Homo-oligomer: A and B are copies of this chain.
Amino acid sequence: MLKDWMPRPAGEQNEQKARLKRSREELAALQMKLKENKLPVLVLVEGWGAAGKGSLIRSLIKELDPRFFQVVNMGRPTPEEQRYPFLKRYVQTIPEEGKIVFLDSGWMDEVVRQRQQKTIDSGEYELRLQSTEVFERQLVADGYLLVKLFLHIDRATQKKRLEALAADEDTAWRVSENDRWQQKHYGWAMDCFDEYLEATDTAWAPWKILNGGDEGGARAEAAEYLCRCIRAALAKRPGEGMMPDAHWPLLPMLPLSRIPLDVSLPEEEYRRRLKECRKKLARLHNRLYRKKVPVVILYEGWDAAGKGGNIKRLAGALDPRGYEVVPIASPTPPEKSRHYLWRFWTRLPKTGHIAIFDRSWYGRVMVERLEGFCTEADWKRAYNEINEFERELTQWGAVVVKFWVQIDKDTQLARFNDRQNTPEKQWKITDEDWRNREKWDAYEQAVDEMLQKTSTANAPWHIIESVDKRYARIKAMEIVIDAIERAL
């Protein structure tokens, strides 16, 4: 893409300025439309060192209202950030509805740099490309406008600029090790940029290459292009109806109605096996930490199925410094106004740690589906999005364990009544629980569909029969132990 790209002839300066002024004014007006239309816009600005990314962004934002946009300078990942999937810190920056985020270098810079300097091999590189494809596509499918700009300059121009920056003590810090490296290995760096641009130039998020050597021209062109993209997105929401046709190899799952629930453990055996599990888990947790393996465990299940008690027993066997229980309630406004997976991305455990999700991203295909909190297209797309998300986790090296805690309708009724009639338990039961109970059949159907469509080999569902809570607790702990042991 880069190699056969021809710069536009540089225009006349006054004409460039006039175009820029016009587009900037239009951008300011469009910004208010974005707000009204709740359109989130992510502008990724990539390019060579000293190509003028910073000043391009400065030029683009000149007439914008600073309350509704943000410029994020990503920099290189810190050691802390390196303990998460590489995309996490980019996911974290995605804008809320109606706002614009400008990224001064982003996931392209990070991945291409690793490729250029050979800190990842070609297999890892391919995985990064796959992750990027998923990330960009999911954003656009969710209605984000993603604009990707690449600022290109030739070797001589870069050289001249780096020298000028280095000569002034106030700007010398802007010349990085990597800039100097690029200048020295310009040809190879170019190969890598080109290859990456080719590989990630998609229909839903194409690249726009700009001539960084002609600053005025690049600014005018970028502003005009951004206006065009926003106008188009306002006219037709990006990604509308986008529904990738994915074929996941899925594990067969029994429908809930056919799962026998008459399994139980006598008290004495329960005590013995609980003790055993606790010992094993404590030891495994130390090894996980040492080997820096992250673990994601999630619990879904009927109200009153016994998730809380189950989690408590599991958590009680772990070192509290190395795990976190993440209760998932309704999303807060900042969460609601971003991609629905955002609040889970931002709560992942770091390497060596365990996160136990009490409810999870599966809310999308259960409660959000049934209560109409998202559109039909949203929840239908979500099965694939979730499978992709969980693949990100396991490719990153995480152990993913998913529990559906199962009881029958009569057992639920008995437990609801017990809660209602026991003062210390009353806080556990709300009117909403009773309302949800009335929709049992609809939920059961949604759960069956969810289990069918999201039980992958890397992140399979486990049914936890929980009429007998002792049985359920031991089963869950033994599955966790088994999954961790296999990963180590």
Contacts and interface: CB of A to CB of B under 8 A. Distances in A.
Given A32-B424, A54-B320, A58-B319, A287 B66 contact: no
A314 to B, nearest CB: 9
A341 interface: no
Interface string A140-175: 000000000000000000000000000001110100
B332 A35 contact: no
Contacts of A29: 424
A78 B79 CA distance: 8
A173 B334 CA distance: 39
A29 B427 CA distance: 12
A177 interface: no
A384 B476 CA distance: 52
Interface in A307-365: 308, 311-312, 315-316, 319-322, 324-325, 327, 332-334, 356, 358
Determine how many copies of this chain the complex contains: 2
A78 B311 CA distance: 31
Interface string A370-387: 000000000000000000
Q: Which of A79, A287, A290: most chain B CB closer than 10 A? A: A290
Interface stretch (A67-75, A213-221, A224-232): A67-75
A67 B325 contact: yes
Interface string A15-32: 000000000000001001
Contacts of A312: 64-66
A32 B427 contact: yes
Query: Which of A54, A78, A319, A356 has the most chain B CB within a 10 Å cutoff?
Result: A319
Given A32-B424, A315-B66, A427-B35, A57 B320 contact: yes
Contact of A320 (B32, B71, B308): B71
A116 interface: no
B173 A289 contact: yes
A286 B71 contact: no
A319 B61 CA distance: 11
Contacts of A62: 316
Contacts of A287: 170
Given A36-B427, A320-B71, A356 B78 contact: no
A80 interface: yes
A64 B316 CA distance: 9
Contacts of A54: 319-321
B286 A170 contact: yes
20 contacts: A36-B427, A57-B321, A58-B320, A61-B316, A65-B308, A66-B311, A66-B312, A66-B315, A66-B358, A67-B311, A67-B325, A70-B324, A71-B321, A73-B321, A73-B322, A102-B320, A104-B320, A169-B290, A170-B286, A332-B333
Given A57-B320, A66-B315, 20 more contacts: A35-B427, A36-B427, A57-B321, A65-B312, A66-B311, A66-B325, A67-B308, A67-B358, A71-B321, A73-B321, A78-B79, A102-B320, A104-B321, A169-B290, A170-B283, A170-B287, A170-B290, A173-B289, A332-B332, A332-B334
Q: What are the 6 A-B residue pairs with the smallest beta carbon separation, nearest first?
A: A71-B320, A66-B325, A73-B321, A170-B286, A67-B327, A66-B315
